[in-house]
Structure 1
Amino acid sequence: CQDLPVRVYSDPTGGGTRRGAHNCHDCNNKILEALKNHRLGLGDLIGLDCECRPRWDFLTKQSSLRRNGAEPHGYRSGFTGGRHF
């Protein structure tokens, strides 16, 4: 192999896909962009937060009570239509 001036970027999160890593609908792009920039050495993750963090904390704490740790219906779409818990 030769040393080439090429940067190879791999996105192991699968962000933006249905089965990939995700946050709420409003935060997905912001979080994924920050992670990409961090991996490329263009920024840090300090202060990065999302409005869905309390919801995520709640779901994480009760995941052992859910069958197969499943997310509630509508979580991936950000509970559109006013659905809350």
Structure 2
Amino acid sequence: MTRYVVHLTFGDDPRRLTARPAHREHLRRLQEEGRLVTAGPWADDSGAMHVYEAADADEVREILRRDPYTEVPGCHEVTLLKEWTPIM
């Protein structure tokens, strides 16, 4: 398994916030499954960073596709999907 870092960019559309409870439940399930290492928004709520444990980038793309945030306006884009090799 490989770790992938994802940066998301949020817009001002308030409909994103209506999806937040389902989004966080989705993340909780992924963490329980061992597929999400950590996740959280930037302090200014302009976006978020997620770290996933996955077989490949396509698996991460599928995880993102099923995330409730991707179904509503306000979560504009994945600004970075990059393999990460932590040393500590």
Question: Which of the two has higher C-alpha Rg?
Answer: 1
Which has the larger strand fraction?
2
TM-score normalised by length of structure 2 = 0.29
TM-score normalised by length of structure 1 = 0.30
